[in-house]
Structure 1
Amino acid sequence: MIWNTMMGTSILSIPWGIKQAGFTSGIILILLMGILTLYCCYRVVKSRNMIPLIDTSDWEFPDVCKYYFGSFGQWSSLLFSMVSLVGAMVVYWVLMSNFLFNTGKFIYNFVHGINVTEIVPGTNESNKVICPGAARDNPPQNGSVTFLSGNNTGFELFEEWWDKSRTVPFYLIAVLLPLLNLKSPSFFAKFNVLGTVSVVYLVFLVTVKAAHLGIHLEYNWFTENEYFVPEFRILFPQLTGVLTLAFFIHNCIITLLQNNRNQENNVRDLSVAYFLVGLTYLYVGVIIFASFPSPPLSKECIEQNFLDNFPSNDIMSFVARIFLLFQMMTVYPLLGYLARVQLLGQVFGNVYPSVFHVLVLNIAIVGAGVAMARFYPNIGGIIRYSGATCGLAFVFVYPSLIYVISLHRAGQLTWPALIIHIFIILLGLANLIAQFLL
């Protein structure tokens, strides 16, 4: 359950993050961030038990923050929780626009018997891999595709009304905005198993593609050439920002573990879940990076969504996009419901004060998603900014501060414990600052 909840859209950006950090440092960072976030999550789970003389069995982590930090802790934890939820919903909107665009393009070409070759650098074999970034930097003068057969005029009209950033993000409003206004989206919770199916299929896709492409690695530790990136890069904080959100479950871990039949196994189950999540991220990230064909392409071509490195007419990528699109369209209303419960519940004391209140909130959330999909469709950037921001509070600062304060009140605080947890807080602060400097 924890693995299924934690595995999200971040998996699509892990190969890009490894590229930004360098292959060796990327692997090291995934391992270190997994251990660090696991420890901080463990501190969240244990935070209620360190409050004496009060029944905290029905408390959530924001209640613990309120106990230690008063109203500031309550409202700041709400703010950072909203950042994580809205950030995830924005990423979902960008990805759903991407998947819907590529799915519609594939179906249109198939139905009309159109065979096109995209004018972007790529490999020539049947398992084609492309470099969309090169086309963005040097756009072709004669459009985005070369027609091999089909109706040229009809396709141009289709492209005008089916554009990844100018039209498709707006089409999603008609489907998702009404779903957000439902009082209880419990129906969509039944599709939670789709998340597991999607991740399993992605692992299968990555394995098959790597088997066909082979391994393309050349170790250049500190220098960069045309085809390979160095093993250690100064851009490594971009990966730590992505990983903060990739391993982020701290704001709901207490709720998830409350359903555990054997509460004494909470720490074991949490550790196993983090191990499996880290193993999945490592496998997908390392295999995609290692098998990316360079030469003839460069590792710099790896996209923030690695599925974009496969052309729209690739069958396996088409199936993956269908799975992910349907999964995200069922999860999106659940995220909106959580955002509504947390914000309106705290502000108005009622999770559904009126249709007007709910509609205004949902329009604002949807508007943020549409704006990002239209003007900044970079999921790696959105993930790392939102991850580092919400992670500063929920992953690094609050768990460490609460533990230090509880030890101090119990007269058990030692200098090593104080230094270690201050260092964790400084790591979180440096992680956030670095996102805006690199």
Structure 2
Amino acid sequence: MIWNTMMGTSILSIPWGIKQAGFTSGIILILLMGILTLYCCYRVVKSRKMIPLLDTSNWEFPDVCKYYFGSFGQWSSLLFSMVSLVGAMVVYWVLMSNFLFNTGKFIYNFVHDINVTEIVPGTNGSNKVICPGAAGDNPPQNESMTFFSGNNTSFELFEKWWDKSRTVPFYLIAILLPLLNLKSPSFFAKFNVLGTVSVVYLVFLVTVKAAHLGIHLEYNWFTENEFFVPEFRILFPQLTGVLTLAFFIHNCIITLLQNNKNQENNVRDLSVAYFLVGLTYLYVGVIIFASFPSPPLSKECIEQNFLDNFPSNDIMSFVARIFLLFQMMTVYPLLGYLARVQLLGQVFGNVYPSVFHVLVLNIAIVGAGVAMARFYPNIGGIIRYSGATCGLAFVFVYPSLIYVISLHRAGQLTWPALIVHIFIILLGLANLIAQFLL
């Protein structure tokens, strides 16, 4: 359950993050961030037990923050929780726009028997890999050349009304905005298994592609040339920002573990879940990076969504996009429900004060997703900014501060414990600052 909840859209950006950090440092950072976030999550789980003389069995982590920091802890934890939820929903909207666009394009070309040839650099053969552009902040919109005979009027209309950033993000409004306004999204919770199916299929896709492409690693520790990146790069904080959100489950871990029949196994189950998540990220990230054909392409071509490195007519990528599109369309209303419960419940004391209140909140959330899909469709950037921001509070600061304060009140605080947890807080602060500097 924890693995299924934690695994999300970040998996698509892990290969790009490894490229930004360098191969060796990328692997090391995944391992270290997994261990660090696991420890901080463990501190969240144990935080309620360190409050004496009170029944904390029904408390969530914001309640613990309120106990230690008063109203500031309550509202700041709410703010950062909203950042994580809305950030995830924005990433979902960008990805759903991407998947819907490519799915519609594939179906249209297939139905009309249109031959599509990618005009961007790429490899030859049936397992083609393309380089849509330097995987930076301005990915190109048109990446293919279409050959067909006859009247091209219908195709021109299709191209006009089926655009990745100008039209498709707006089409999703008609589907998802009504779903967000439902009082209870319990129906969509039944499709939670789609998340597991999607991740398993991605692992299968990565394995098959790597088996056909082979391993392409040119080791160089410090210098770059056309066909490889150094093992260590100064851009490594971009990966730590992505990983903060990739390993983020701290704001709901208490709720998830409350359903555990054997509470004494909480720490074991949490550790196993983090191990499996880290192993999945390592496998996908390392295999995609190592098998990316360089030469003839450059590792710099690895996209923020690694599925974009496969051409639009690739069958396996088409199936992956279908799986992910339906999964995200079922998870998106659940995320919206959580955002509504946390925000409106705290502000108005009622999770559904009126249709108007809920509609205004949902329009604001959907508007943020549409704006990002239209003007900044870069999931790697969105993930690392939102991950580092919410992670500063929920992963690094609050768990460490609460532990130090509780030890101090119990007269058990030692200098090593104080130094270690101050260092963790400083790491979180440096992680956030570095996102805006690199």
Name the CA distance, whole Å, in 1 between partners of 2:419 and 2:195: 39
Question: Could you report, residue by residue, the CA deviation over 1:335-354 in whole angstroms, capped at 9, with x for unpaired residues?
Answer: 00000000000000000000
Name the CA distance, whole Å, in 1 between partners of 2:348 and 2:242: 33
Change in Cα spacing, 1:6 to 1:150, as seen in structure 2 (3 Å) is farther
> Shift of the alpha carbon at 1:135?
10
> Shift of the alpha carbon at 1:155?
1.7
Question: Could you report, residue by residue, the CA deviation over 1:104-158 in whole angstroms, capped at 9, with x for unpaired residues?
Answer: 0000000001011021110011101000115999999998414155653322221
Q: Specify the alignment match of 2:343 in structure 1.
A: 343
> Shift of the alpha carbon at 1:187?
0.1
User: Does the CA contact (< 8 Å) of 2:114 and 2:146 recur in 1?
Assistant: no
User: Does the CA contact (< 8 Å) of 1:119 and 1:135 recur in 2?
Assistant: no
Name the CA distance, whole Å, in 2 between partners of 1:235 and 1:140: 23
User: Does the CA contact (< 8 Å) of 1:183 and 1:352 recur in 2?
Assistant: yes
Q: Specify the alignment match of 1:25 in structure 2.
A: 25
Alignment of 1:220-235 (within 5 A): 220-235=220-235
Name the CA distance, whole Å, in 1 between partners of 2:296 and 2:229: 14
User: Does the CA contact (< 8 Å) of 1:250 and 1:394 recur in 2?
Assistant: yes
Change in Cα spacing, 1:412 to 1:164, as seen in structure 2 (3 Å) is same
Name the CA distance, whole Å, in 1 between partners of 2:346 and 2:134: 47
User: Does the CA contact (< 8 Å) of 1:89 and 1:332 recur in 2?
Assistant: yes
3-state SS, counterpart of residue 136 of structure 2: helix
Name the CA distance, whole Å, in 2 between partners of 1:219 and 1:154: 49
Deviates more, 1:121-130 or 1:152-161: 152-161
Name the CA distance, whole Å, in 1 between partners of 2:11 and 2:102: 19
Name the CA distance, whole Å, in 1 between partners of 2:234 and 2:266: 37
Question: Could you report, residue by residue, the CA deviation over 1:15-34 in whole angstroms, capped at 9, with x for unpaired residues?
Answer: 00000000000000000000
User: Does the CA contact (< 8 Å) of 1:115 and 1:150 recur in 2?
Assistant: no
Name the CA distance, whole Å, in 1 between partners of 2:79 and 2:249: 16
Q: Specify the alignment match of 1:35 in structure 2.
A: 35
Question: Could you report, residue by residue, the CA deviation over 1:29-77 in whole angstroms, capped at 9, with x for unpaired residues?
Answer: 0000000000000000000000000000000000000000000000000
Deviates more, 1:157-166 or 1:379-388: 157-166
Question: Could you report, residue by residue, the CA deviation over 1:190-209 in whole angstroms, capped at 9, with x for unpaired residues?
Answer: 00000000000000000000
Question: Could you report, residue by residue, the CA deviation over 1:262-321 in whole angstroms, capped at 9, with x for unpaired residues?
Answer: 000000000000000000000000000000000110000000000000011000000000
Change in Cα spacing, 1:17 to 1:368, as seen in structure 2 (3 Å) is same
Change in Cα spacing, 1:23 to 1:33, as seen in structure 2 (3 Å) is same
Name the CA distance, whole Å, in 1 between partners of 2:304 and 2:116: 24
Q: Does 1:400 align with 2:395?
A: no
TM-score under structure 1 normalisation?
0.98
Change in Cα spacing, 1:134 to 1:432, as seen in structure 2 (3 Å) is closer
Aligned length: 438
3-state SS, counterpart of residue 145 of structure 1: strand
Change in Cα spacing, 1:134 to 1:402, as seen in structure 2 (3 Å) is closer
3-state SS, counterpart of residue 146 of structure 1: strand
3-state SS, counterpart of residue 133 of structure 1: coil
Name the CA distance, whole Å, in 2 between partners of 1:58 and 1:200: 34
User: Does the CA contact (< 8 Å) of 1:188 and 1:333 recur in 2?
Assistant: yes
Name the CA distance, whole Å, in 1 between partners of 2:425 and 2:431: 10
Change in Cα spacing, 1:140 to 1:388, as seen in structure 2 (3 Å) is closer
User: Does the CA contact (< 8 Å) of 1:162 and 1:168 recur in 2?
Assistant: yes
User: Does the CA contact (< 8 Å) of 2:77 and 2:393 recur in 1?
Assistant: yes
User: Does the CA contact (< 8 Å) of 2:128 and 2:310 recur in 1?
Assistant: yes
Question: Could you report, residue by residue, the CA deviation over 1:170-218 in whole angstroms, capped at 9, with x for unpaired residues?
Answer: 0000000000000000000000000000000000000000000000001
3-state SS, counterpart of residue 196 of structure 1: helix
Unaligned runs of 5+ in 1: none
Deviates more, 1:114-123 or 1:205-214: 114-123
User: Does the CA contact (< 8 Å) of 2:392 and 2:432 recur in 1?
Assistant: yes
Identical pairs, percent: 97
Name the CA distance, whole Å, in 2 between partners of 1:169 and 1:257: 36
Unaligned runs of 5+ in 2: none
User: Does the CA contact (< 8 Å) of 2:137 and 2:378 recur in 1?
Assistant: no
Change in Cα spacing, 1:149 to 1:45, as seen in structure 2 (3 Å) is farther
Deviates more, 1:111-120 or 1:69-78: 111-120
Change in Cα spacing, 1:165 to 1:139, as seen in structure 2 (3 Å) is closer
User: Does the CA contact (< 8 Å) of 1:114 and 1:150 recur in 2?
Assistant: no
User: Does the CA contact (< 8 Å) of 1:113 and 1:150 recur in 2?
Assistant: no
Name the CA distance, whole Å, in 1 between partners of 2:400 and 2:134: 44
Name the CA distance, whole Å, in 2 between partners of 1:196 and 1:84: 21
Question: Could you report, residue by residue, the CA deviation over 1:215-248 in whole angstroms, capped at 9, with x for unpaired residues?
Answer: 0001110000001000000000000000000000
Change in Cα spacing, 1:150 to 1:95, as seen in structure 2 (3 Å) is farther
Name the CA distance, whole Å, in 1 between partners of 2:140 and 2:425: 47
User: Does the CA contact (< 8 Å) of 1:114 and 1:151 recur in 2?
Assistant: no
3-state SS, counterpart of residue 70 of structure 1: helix
Change in Cα spacing, 1:336 to 1:138, as seen in structure 2 (3 Å) is closer
Q: Specify the alignment match of 1:240 in structure 2.
A: 240
Q: CA RMSD in A?
A: 1.6
User: Does the CA contact (< 8 Å) of 2:115 and 2:148 recur in 1?
Assistant: yes
Question: Could you report, residue by residue, the CA deviation over 1:328-377 in whole angstroms, capped at 9, with x for unpaired residues?
Answer: 00000000000000000000000000000000000000000000000000
Change in Cα spacing, 1:110 to 1:135, as seen in structure 2 (3 Å) is farther
User: Does the CA contact (< 8 Å) of 1:227 and 1:298 recur in 2?
Assistant: yes
User: Does the CA contact (< 8 Å) of 2:218 and 2:227 recur in 1?
Assistant: no
Change in Cα spacing, 1:191 to 1:208, as seen in structure 2 (3 Å) is same
User: Does the CA contact (< 8 Å) of 1:116 and 1:149 recur in 2?
Assistant: no
User: Does the CA contact (< 8 Å) of 1:119 and 1:140 recur in 2?
Assistant: no
Question: Could you report, residue by residue, the CA deviation over 1:78-104 in whole angstroms, capped at 9, with x for unpaired residues?
Answer: 000000000000000000000000000
User: Does the CA contact (< 8 Å) of 1:202 and 1:320 recur in 2?
Assistant: yes
Name the CA distance, whole Å, in 2 between partners of 1:201 and 1:148: 33
Q: Specify the alignment match of 2:135 in structure 1.
A: 135
Q: Specify the alignment match of 2:324 in structure 1.
A: 324
User: Does the CA contact (< 8 Å) of 1:18 and 1:27 recur in 2?
Assistant: yes
